Amino acid sequence: MIDLRSDTLTRPTAGMLAAMGSAEVGDDVYAEDPTVNGLEARVAELLGHEAGLFCPTGSMANLLAVWLLVQPGQELVCDVRAHVARAEMGAHAALHGITMRTWDSAYGVADAAAIAGMIAPDSGPYLVSTAAVALENTHNFGGGTVQPYEHLAEVSQLCRDAGLSLHLDGARLWNAHAATRVPLADYGRLFDTVNVCFSKGLGAPIGSMLVSTAANIAKARVQRKRLGGGWRQAGVLAAAAGYALDHHLPRLANDHVAAAAFAAEVAAVVPGAVEVARVQTNIVVLDAGAATAASVVTAAAAAGVKLSAVGARAVRAVTHQEVSVDEAIAAGRIVAEVLAG
Ligand SMILES: *Cc1c(COP(=O)(O)O)cnc(C)c1O
């Protein structure tokens, strides 16, 4: 079985487990875990921000970021396929009273003009006021799309001019960086808050980092505890994340090669299912054509490849460190047959 459902499926390697086993730890609720403190400082610096907060999940880091930027009753605007809107179980509304409006896009690529046309800052007593914009890079349900840097810079300028805050859901910012070589800090400095995940392609078992100003992070630390996210000797997990930055970040580009090879095999048989040139990182979103996504997922699993349905006709394959390029090619051939019916 070749499992392409998600890059979260990766298990810690022997080297990572050794790093976890020898981590120096303390109580992080007292801010006394040296490995956590070191990782927070390291990642904040990498992203060009003052401070970091290590969180159990990317969902919690996004939840805290949006809570910092948007008051109850105000709105966040984001892409229609954004993780914050689709995959966080309505937490921003259910827990923090935040509403959202969404824009549609091709492949998740952010367009400053479209965003400018929908924001409504300081709307007075009649309409909901927009407080912040959220972008995703790479864009997960858009197909692992890398946001062109000039688009990000335009949206950042738009938000500054309009007095709005800007959040980056950078769960896979590492993949964008691996694809473009744009320095992480050049991405980070365009945003007020950034979330990055260690639990995706980087292969750590758990963990995400929220970065922002020191004042914002101090506030977020309190809300994290309120949400039940105050953890103790989390240094064992921070050690896994640190190991991933040292050893797995440099190999992420392999996953991109594997994804492109997978897509090429599919497109060779079913050209309408995927545009190979659109595959920029480790995610391939296939068009199921006349079939439903669910039926393609079932048939592919029976043939030895696990995929996931991410829309009525959208099927997602994700490469990661437990899938070689050869396995990705083999999987592509199998999925091509399934799609060809
Ligand atoms: C995975 C992911 C997250 C965070 O997910 P968790 O499972 O909560 O860690 C956030 N945004 C995007 C785009 C993701 O793919």
DSSP tag of 292: -
Three-state SS string over 121-187 comes to: CCCCCCCCCEEEEEEECCECCCCCECCCHHHHHHHHHHHHHHCCEEEEEECCHHHHHHHHCCCHHHH
Ligand 1 mean position, distance from CA 123 (Å): 31
Q: Is the CB of 129 under 6 A from ligand 1?
A: no
Atom number in ligand 1 closest to CA 140:
13
Residue 221 pLDDT > 90: yes
Which one-letter amino acid corresponds to residue 236?
A: V
245-254 mean pLDDT: 98
Which domains, ranges and CATH numbers included, belong to the chain?
A: 11-247 (3.40.640.10), 251-340 (3.90.1150.10)
pLDDT for the residue numbered 147? 98
Ligand 1 mean position, distance from CA 138 (Å): 11
pLDDT tens digit string along 132-147? 999 999 999 999 999 9
- State which of 10, 200, 206 you would mutate to test the pocket of ligand 1, scoring each by most atoms of that ligand within 8 A of its C-beta: 200
Report the alpha-carbon distance of residue 220 to residue 57 in Å, rounded: 14
Ligand 1 mean position, distance from CA 214 (Å): 24
pLDDT for the residue numbered 327? 98
| CA R_g for the chain | 20
pLDDT tens digit string along 172-213? 999 999 999 999 999 999 999 999 999 999 999 999 999 999
Q: What is the pTM of this model?
A: 0.97
- Could you give the percent of the chain with pLDDT greater than 70? 100
pLDDT tens digit string along 40-70? 999 999 999 999 999 999 999 999 999 999 9
Q: Is the CB of 136 under 6 A from ligand 1?
A: yes
Q: What is the dihedral of CA 74, 95, 198, 144, to 10 degrees?
A: -50
